[in-house]
Amino acid sequence: MAIESVSGINSLLNSLNATSQTSAENAGTSFSELLKDAIGQVQDVQAENNANSLELLSGESTEIHTALIEAQKAELTFNLAVQVRSKVIDAYNEVMRMQL
């Protein structure tokens, strides 16, 4: 049995890494667009988790392990998003504390 990677977090990290590497080359992507894309990916993972949970609860699916894996993916991507949000808020507060 192959272990599947957590694609939601990997895609989120890959998009953040790719954007940070190309930010000097491509000034067209704004920070707000990056956050919107990342939040959209988190919402997609959450929606997939909800769909799998509903299938399990309604009896359409008997694969409990799939629902549990999707729940863990959703939890991890949400926790990552919360940590990124906290870092952004900390950075904003630090900038606001700077004296001119």
Domain boundaries, the chain: 31-97
* Confidence (pTM): 0.63
- Contact at 8 Å (CB) between 66 and 52? yes
Q: Give the CB-side neighbour count of residue 65, counting CA atoms within 13 A.
A: 3
Predicted local distance difference test score (pLDDT) of residue 35: 83
Q: Are 15 and 38 in contact (CB under 8 A)?
A: yes
Could you report the per-residue pLDDT of 46-63, keeping only the tens digit for each? Answer: 999 999 889 888 988 888
The pLDDT of residue 33 is: 87
| pLDDT at residue 75 greater than cutoff 90 | yes
Strands (E), 2-46: none
Q: Tell me the pLDDT band of 13, cut-offs 50, 70 and 90.
A: low
Across the range 6-34, mean pLDDT stands at: 66
| Mean pLDDT, the chain, whole residue set | 81
Q: What is the pLDDT of residue 83?
A: 94
What would the mean pLDDT of 73-100 be, rounded to a whole number?
92
